[in-house]
Amino acid sequence: MIQRNNRILLVEDEAGLVFTLTDLLKAEGYEVIACADAEAAELKLASANPDLILLDVMLPGKSGLDLLRSLRSAGNTIPVLMLTARATPPERVVGLKLGADDYLPKPFDSLELLARIEALLRRSEGHGLANGGGSILGFGDITINPERSEVSRAGQVLPLTLQEYRLLIFMVTHPGKTLSRERLLEEVWGYGSNAASRTIDVHVSSLRQKVEDEPAHPAHIITVRGFGYRFEP
């Protein structure tokens, strides 16, 4: 169960939307810390220690994508749900490649927003138990330690996002099985998803860059054309 004292950092410069979202989230039992720009959010991150970030793309000064890039470059794997009025496919791809865990275009339905927040928090709080047993997993020079929620390559911890981690765990624990994009969206993202299948492709591409010796010619995360992907240990 999600603890309803989860802390959400809301980074949004539209005052009316900040007011609406703060009321909505507080009514659901969340603690909300609001910032109007990326610089203020960066200052709040260390002291506030939020469980999730709701991040607008279009911000004054440094953009939401810039903030996301800084977070992931620093190895911060906090779940990030992007909010934007310009959720075109190219923009979504950029955000996902930078490490966003989910994307929601404005205007959005409040129930859908809450469902996506719950799904991300549930996975964030439970991802260390994703393989059910806690034993060390691995393939090639990759080691997965579910107890520590860490993936290492030749002893070096990899900066995987939450969804990359969950996607990898799910695939590794279903070796040799062809997994459809629809199933991956349902099992890894956890809602009956309005997310495009392109979401899966972007995360797979990013995972390959981190875990494959030759990402352009993957040996472990195999594309099954017209259907999905298969993991080969």
DSSP string, 76-116: ----EEEEES---HHHHHHHHHHT-SEEEESS--HHHHHHH
Same domain, 137 and 115: no
Give CA–CA dist 60/79, Å, rounded.
Answer: 22
pLDDT higher than threshold 90 for residue 16: yes
Mean of the per-residue pLDDT values of the chain: 84
Q: What is the pLDDT of residue 194?
A: 53
Which range (57-61, 177-181, 195-199) has the least confidence? 195-199
Whether residue 75 sits in one domain with residue 31: yes
Q: What is the pLDDT of residues 118-128, one digit of tens each?
A: 878 877 665 44
How high is the pLDDT of residue 191?
58
Q: Are residues 156 and 48 in the same domain?
A: no
pLDDT of 127-175, one tens digit each? 443 444 456 788 888 888 877 778 888 888 888 888 888 899 889 888 8
Instruction: Look at residues 230, 66, 68 and name the one whose alpha carbon lies nearest to residue 159.
Output: 68
Q: Does residue 119 sit in the same domain as residue 140?
A: no
pLDDT at 41: 94
How far is it, in rounded angstroms, from Cα 205 to Cα 98? 12
CATH number for position 16: 3.40.50.2300
Share of the chain above pLDDT 70, in %: 87
Based on the domain organization, do 72 and 104 belong to the same domain? yes
Q: Which of 108, 127, 146 is the last residue of a domain?
A: 127
Structural domain for 135, as ranges: 130-231
Query: Maximum CA pair distance of the chain?
Result: 51
- Give pLDDT, residue 233: 84
Q: Is residue 1 part of a domain?
A: no
Residues 75 and 176 occupy one common structural domain: no
Domain endpoint, select from 88, 105, 127: 127
Are 121 and 2 in contact by the 8 Å Cβ rule? The answer is: yes
Same domain, 101 and 136: no
Name the pTM for this structure: 0.63
Instruction: Give the lowest-confidence range in 66-70, 85-89, 224-228.
Output: 85-89
89 and 14, same structural domain? yes
> Tokens 């469980």 appear where?
51
Choosing from 127, 150, 166, the residue where a domain stops is 127
31 Cβ contact partners less than 8 Å away, ≥ 6 residues apart: 5, 6, 7, 8
88: number of Cβ within 10 Å: 10
25 and 117 housed in the same domain? yes
Q: Within a domain: residue 59?
A: yes
Whether residue 74 sits in one domain with residue 29: yes
CATH number at residue 173: 1.10.10.10
Q: How confident is the model over 50-74, as a mean pLDDT? A: 91
In this prediction, residue 132 carries a pLDDT of 40
110 and 140 assigned to the same domain: no
178 and 221 fall within a common domain:
yes
Q: How confident is the model at residue 105 (pLDDT cuts 50, 70, 90)?
A: confident
Whether 49 maps to a domain, the answer reads yes
* Token code pair at residue 164: 């990359």
Q: Is 210 exposed, middle or buried (0-12, 13-18, 19+ CB in 10 A)?
A: middle
Give the total number of structural domains in the chain: 2
